[in-house]
Amino acid sequence: MSDETIYKRDEKGKKVAKNLQTKHMRIRFKDKDIDVNRLITIGRDANNDIVVKDDPLVSRKHALIEKEGSHYFIMDKGSTNGSYLNNNPLPRCERVKISPGDVIIVGKTKLEIL
């Protein structure tokens, strides 16, 4: 395929779109799978995409997961107790690449990347 942008609603675009598979990542939280399409926020506050209301060690706005191209990143938002990726502490306010099979821990809550 050449390096051109294709309009998805014309005939060529419809053919290309039909053959492409959407790349996405899923997170498992409390036996529920959540798709990461662009940005997922994690915390105790009810406005988060993943609300961890029963874990007082989780900050209101604890962390976020974002998609950039075909890669996914997690960032601790300066939480009080920090976040962990595969049992390793994440640096605060820095993005770290994540992959399927990784485990994120916020407070005592585990999130599995599928």
pLDDT tens-digit map of 26-62: 677 667 777 777 789 999 999 998 998 888 899 999 9
Convert the pLDDT of each residue in 79-93 to its tens digit: 999 999 999 999 999
pTM here is: 0.73
User: In sequence order, what are the beta bridge partners of 98?
Assistant: 72
Starting at the edge strand found earlier in the chain, the sheet holding 25-29 runs 32-36, 25-29, 109-113, 103-106, 83-85, 88-89
Amino acid identity of 61? K
